[in-house]
Amino acid sequence: MKVLFLGGGEMPKNLSDWLNDIMKESVIYTEERIDIDFVKRRDPEIIVAYNYKYILGREVINYPPLGCINLHISYLPWNRGAHPNLWSFLEDTPKGVTIHYINECIDSGDIIVQKEIDIDPEKETLRSSYMKLHEEIQKLFKENWIMIKNSRIKRMPQRGGAVSITSKISRPSNLSLERKDGTRPLKNYSQFINKKITFFPLLQVDKKIIEKIRNWRNSKEIRNYMYNDSYITKEEHQKWYESLKNRENTKVWVVYVGNTPIGIVDLIHLDHKNKITDWGFYIGDKKFKGKGLGKVILYNLMNYVFEKMDIYKMHTSVLENNTVAMNLYKKMGFKKEGRLRKHLLRDNKYIDLFIIGILKEEWNEISSTLKTKYDLPDEEFM
């Protein structure tokens, strides 16, 4: 069987070698970002991803006749996304490993096979538990490979789950994994948490949150700075919500701090051909404004768009009267690209509309500086 193996590091390479040398599969291994042209030239029957850091596009996912599968060191649907081992202890969720099909959302595809793993936080370190989970996921893959390649395992849809990032926490991989004597227990890592931010897909949140979003959107503080400042009725809001289920060029998340929903992040008019996207976000809960969360949210959105989605340009429009937002965007590297003079009528006065944008090469130049200057997290975004 022709296998395209997408990896990152020594462990994925070793598993790829096992497939090629022991199982006699025809394996193509890469750690580079791939696109549909790369895949078509190799023409794999199945794609296997393990520790691969890039998000796959829709065309790539749909190309192999046997699909794309991912090896993830968490007991899905718990702890999707980055650093699942650490988060399983911080959030006291089940620990384990999962092999699942890849779809367009992070670690949310149908489960092929999984195994719950017992890890004692009093005895294990971050390093030892990490290695244990990788040993288990490789073992699970080897035990089930024949059934996977022959499509003899029933798919199990996932339910629930979320992807988390944190504010004011170093990357877990940069934390000391253990003391010199190797005795730091995993339970001690909870002391590093200050604020936890979760980006949750809008279509998966409770209906009460949907109404809360409408109330935010209709508040004067938000409407004043919207291109469309009309009052949104319940019927209009529900129609918009339902339309998102069929809009492939739009992604919307609810931003949570802890268990509290505080705002919205979206990508709109996603153009995968030209690799550009419009975007927007707002913090609707007044208690969380002025806390520096805007930088954290926008930084992680930019990181997701440029590093994971392979988008070349982000752009948006800003009302002349929204000076707070304009100052933030300027700090984050966005540049004015145009000005539509006297474009909108607000309070019986015409105001200008600014067009701003940032390119991938500009992001590459400033991303590390932004992280250091503003003490921003550099975490995975769903």
Domain boundaries, the chain: 2-192, 195-373
Share of the chain above pLDDT 70, in %: 87
In contact, 81 and 122? CB cutoff 8 Å: no
Question: For residue 133, what pLDDT is reported?
Answer: 95
Q: Using one digit for the tens of pLDDT, what is the confidence trace for 310-358?
A: 899 999 999 999 999 999 999 999 999 999 999 999 889 999 999 999 9
Of 192-206, 218-232, 276-290, 334-348, least confident by mean pLDDT is 192-206
Give the Cα separation of 204 and 251 in Å (integer). 12
> Average of pLDDT values for 151-180?
55
The 10s digit of each residue's pLDDT in 176-217 is: 344 334 344 444 444 334 456 788 899 988 888 999 999 999
Lowest average pLDDT, out of 89-93, 226-230, 260-264, goes to 89-93
Measured between alpha carbons, how far is 82 from 75 in angstroms, rounded to an integer?
13
pLDDT value of residue 289: 83
Q: What percent of the chain shows pLDDT beyond 90?
A: 60
- The two domains 2-192 and 195-373 share their CATH topology (first three levels equal): no
pLDDT higher than 70, residue 99: yes
Give kind and range of the element (H or E) at residue 369.
Answer: helix 360-373
- Mean pLDDT within 215-226: 92
CA 169, CA 199: separation in Å to the nearest integer? 16
Give the residue-averaged pLDDT of 358-373: 89
Q: Which tokens hold the place of 354?
A: 């600014």
Instruction: Say how far residue 249 (Cα) sits from the centre of its chain.
Output: 16
Q: Is the pLDDT of residue 115 over 60?
A: yes
Using the CB atoms, write b or e for 81-103: b if 16+ within 10 Å. Answer: bbbbbbbbbbeebebbbbbbbbb
When pLDDT is averaged across residues 123-128 and rounded to a whole number, the result is: 81
The amino acid occupying position 304 is Y
CA distance 138 to 85: 16
Work out the mean pLDDT of the chain and round it to a whole number. Answer: 86
How far is residue 89's CA from residue 85's CA, in Å, rounded to a whole number? 7
Would you place residue 166 in the very low, low, confident or very high pLDDT band (cuts 50, 70, 90)? very low
Strands 260-271 and 276-283: antiparallel
Query: What is the phi/psi pair of residue 266, to 5°?
Result: -145, 155
Residue 88 has pLDDT above 50, yes or no: yes
What would the two tokens of residue 193 be? 């948490």
**Architecture in CATH for domain 2-192:** 3-Layer(aba) Sandwich (3.40)
The pLDDT assigned to 32 comes to: 93
Q: How many helices (H) and strands (E) does the chain have?
A: 11, 14
Question: Domain 195-373 maps to which CATH number in 3.40.50.970, 3.40.980.10, 3.40.630.30, 3.30.1330.10?
Answer: 3.40.630.30
Residue with tokens 């580079």: 32
pLDDT at residue 106, rounded to an integer? 81
pLDDT exceeds cutoff 90 at 259: no
